[in-house]
Amino acid sequence: MYQLTRRDLAAAALAAPLASAAGKLEPLSPGIKISMQVGETVTDEDLTWIKQMGVEYLNVQTGKGRATLDNFLAIRKRVEAAGLKVWNISNNDNRNIEEITLNLPGRDAKIAWLKQYILDTGKAGIGYITYAHMANGIWSSPQETTRGGGAARAFRLETAKGVWNGKTYEGPLTHGRKYSKEELWENYTYFIREIAPVAEQAGVRIGIHPDDPPAPELGGIPRHIFGTFDGYVKALEIANSPNIGVCLCAGTWLEGGKSMGKDVFEAARAFAKMGKLWKVHFRNVTAPAPYFVETYIDNGYADMLKLMETLVEADFRGNLIADHVPGMAPGRHASWSYSMGYIRALYQAALASSGRG
């Protein structure tokens, strides 16, 4: 078993760590932590732009081979020097790992790598990571447009393919055969019982992202564990850990529609009541599958003010990001400024209507 050393804990003390001492899961402070997604090479100008929008937290994406303790500490140091805080540091290798989900050769090596990733996250004073359990990627069709011609991800069941980390999955059987629900539950159980004690040791929360899209089956692989509310409940019971919870991607939940078992408002309330709701991907889509296009926050079928009010009423204290933001002229700054400004306005309105503003 991995053990934290005195030297490790000393490293975690850099610049007042956000996470607690190893092994102790501190409660989250009141309020929603609205955050911006950036790459680790984010420019100083962009850091200024983010602060000007009133955003205080960053979700930082690293590249291949960059998920190291030294790099995590360097990222924190730079972000905090700019007057911002790191909520989590992500890397495409730490989720959607087919060897783990399907028990393919190399599973234990991937789990060992992920354990070290979790430990290094805790050592760096960062208290959260997102994990996703898909075996054959995020499935999409050729890009389409949303309001005013903005470029956006689309999904049509008949033309969709899975993509993750440079690999494409397609066809009726992406891994050569059909997998049963029972064996996927066995694989998940093996994995989470290896990972949960390490997360507890490191003092790191792990929020699990829904399958995107949450179709009953894609490429011969069922999406029943993190594709329904009941699947989530069973998965959390199997984990039986205070450190394993939920990253509620509103857009993905909306893609599933009635097949999720609870709508996005009911799911948010239920996970919050469990004390398991730690991150929200705040985005909208045009309709549930089998066909949808991702769209601007105010242009989909969900009432996003109602969702924000639901989160405030539920006393959600975790992290909230814009995600999968459709394109907007003249470029990235316009589309993300629109999304972040809209999110902050919804949050202020929800606080006011609740009497907390």
1 domain-assigned: no
Residue 206 near residue 129 (C-beta atoms within 8 A): yes
Position 340 scores a pLDDT of: 98
298 domain-assigned: yes
3-state secondary structure of 175: coil
Q: pLDDT class for 30, splitting at 50, 70, 90?
A: very high
User: Would the CA dihedral through 228, 233, 237, 239 be positive or negative?
Assistant: positive
Percent of the residues in the chain that have a pLDDT greater than 90, as a whole number: 91
250 domain-assigned: yes
Mean pLDDT calculated for residue range 101-125: 98
Domain count, the chain: 1
Residue range 86-98, pLDDT digits in tens: 999 999 999 999 9
Helix 181-202 vs helix 229-239: angle between axes, to the nearest 10 degrees? 50
Q: 271 or 16: which carries more pLDDT confidence?
A: 271
Residue range 321-332, pLDDT digits in tens: 999 999 999 999
348 domain-assigned: yes
Phi, psi of 246 (to 5 degrees): -125, 130
3-state secondary structure of 176: coil
What CATH number has the domain bearing residue 45?
3.20.20.150
Q: For residue 246, which of 322, 155, 133, 325 has the smallest C-alpha distance?
A: 133
276 domain-assigned: yes
Domain limits for position 324: 6-19+26-354
Position 5 scores a pLDDT of: 41
For the CA atoms of 281, 296, 163, 96, what is the dihedral angle to 10 degrees?
0
Position 15 scores a pLDDT of: 30
Where does residue 332 rank: exposed (0-12), middle (13-18), buried (19+ CB within 10 A)?
exposed
333 domain-assigned: yes
Residue 253 near residue 261 (C-beta atoms within 8 A): no
Position 25 scores a pLDDT of: 84
Q: Which residues contact 178 (CB under 8 A, 6 or more apart)?
A: 220, 221
Mean pLDDT calculated for residue range 19-43: 84
194 domain-assigned: yes
Residue range 211-226, pLDDT digits in tens: 999 999 999 999 999 9
Position 23 scores a pLDDT of: 55
Rg, the chain, Cα only: 19
251 domain-assigned: yes
Residue type, 302: A
> Cα separation of 186 and 100, whole Å?
11
Q: pLDDT class for 291, splitting at 50, 70, 90?
A: very high
Question: Residue 115 pLDDT > 60, yes or no?
Answer: yes
Mean pLDDT calculated for residue range 4-32: 55
Q: For residue 219, which of 257, 173, 255 has the smallest C-alpha distance?
A: 173
Residue 321 per-residue DSSP state: E
